Amino acid sequence: MALDILYFAWVRERMGVAQERVEPAAEVTTVAMLVDWLAARDADSGEALADRARLRAAVDQAFVGMDASIVGAREVALFPPVTGG
Amino acid sequence: MIRIHVGREAIDLTVEMMLAEGAAGTGAVATFTGLVRPDDGVATLELEHYPGATEAALRRVAEDAAARWSLGAATIVHRVGPMAPGERIVFVAASAPHRAAALEACAYLIDRLKTDAPFWKRETRDGEARWVEARDGDAAAAARWEA
């Protein structure tokens, strides 16, 4: 199923796009698996997403852990730890 | 009253204070203003956010504070885009009948905002831009409100 991926801050800069639509395989069911799947597509994506410890995620605009499910999700965002205020 | 605003324009304290003081039942308003620090060599600070998700996260923080301290108003105004040293980044206000609730709720608003709302800072100094790293102290400050 089509999934919109949004990137923010240095993740966006390293990916070279702010947003993309992907169709991951059905067995990709968690955020962590999605990141692995995105990173495995090509060398640039792999490099951009290499620093897994500094990646945070939101599924359908809610902050989640990397083990969260993406089944049925429409939008996943990947970004560094937040630094507002 | 919950007031959430995320925008590129400068934060107008006169307007914000008028709204905060005008909330029903208000006898005390506590506010926090965050500025771009003028003294540590930063030429420009740029704020990025996650449109929609950021506003929703701020609304949850403000609603939680309003419920916990029975506030007449909870205000969070956050600027995005490029800003210069000395300019306001964020303004929060808690309007309550008495000072204790207003002061505590104000601290809660800014502490939770720091960890719960998707914003990212990029600073430029000596012509070089870099993304600001999250501070461990921010998570600890937010955690003290978990009860």
pLDDT confidence of residue A1: 74
- The DSSP result for A24-54, as a single string, is --TT--BHHHHHHHHHTS-HHHHHHT--GGG
Number of domains in chain A: 1
Q: Identify residues of A whose CB sits under 8 angstroms from chain B CBs.
A: 6, 8-10, 58, 61-63, 77, 79-85
pLDDT in 10s for each residue of chain A, 85 residues = 799 999 999 999 999 999 999 999 999 999 999 999 999 999 999 999 999 999 999 999 999 999 999 999 999 999 999 999 9
Tokens read off for B101: 């609730």
**Does residue A85 belong to any structural domain of this protein?**
no
pLDDT confidence of residue B40: 77
Note whether A14 and A47 are within 8 A (CB). Answer: yes
Between the alpha carbon of residue B52 and those of residues A1, A29, B23, B58, the distances in Å are 23, 24, 26, 10
**Does residue B147 belong to any structural domain of this protein?**
no
Share of chain B above pLDDT 90, in %: 92
CB atoms within 10 A of CB B98: 11
Q: Binning pLDDT at 50, 70 and 90, where does residue B65 land?
A: very high
pLDDT value at B25 more than 80: yes
Q: Binning pLDDT at 50, 70 and 90, where does residue B38 land?
A: confident
* Burial (Cβ within 10 Å: 0-12, 13-18, ≥19) of residue B36: buried
pLDDT confidence of residue B39: 76
pLDDT confidence of residue A36: 97
Number of domains in chain B: 1
Q: What is the pLDDT of residues B80-134, one digit of tens each?
A: 999 999 999 999 999 999 999 999 999 999 999 999 999 999 999 999 999 999 9
Mean pLDDT for chain B?
96
Best of B48, B79, B106 to mutate (most A CBs within 10 Å, chain A): B48
**Does residue A39 belong to any structural domain of this protein?**
yes
pLDDT confidence of residue B136: 86
Note whether B5 and B54 are within 8 A (CB). Answer: no
Using DSSP bridges, classify how beta strands B2-7 and B81-83 pair: parallel, antiparallel or unpaired.
unpaired
Residue B77, C-beta contacts closer than 8 angstroms, at least 6 positions apart: B3, B4, B5, B6, B7, B11, B16, B90, B91, B92
- What CATH number did the domain enclosing B79 receive? 3.90.1170.40
- What CATH number did the domain enclosing A24 receive? 3.10.20.30
CA distance A46 to A61: 24
**Does residue B91 belong to any structural domain of this protein?**
yes
**Does residue B81 belong to any structural domain of this protein?**
yes
Residue B60 sits at the chain A interface (C-beta within 8 Å): no
**Does residue A84 belong to any structural domain of this protein?**
no
Domain of A9, in residue numbers: 3-79
ipTM: 0.94
Domain of B26, in residue numbers: 2-142
Q: Name A6's bridge partners.
A: A19, A77
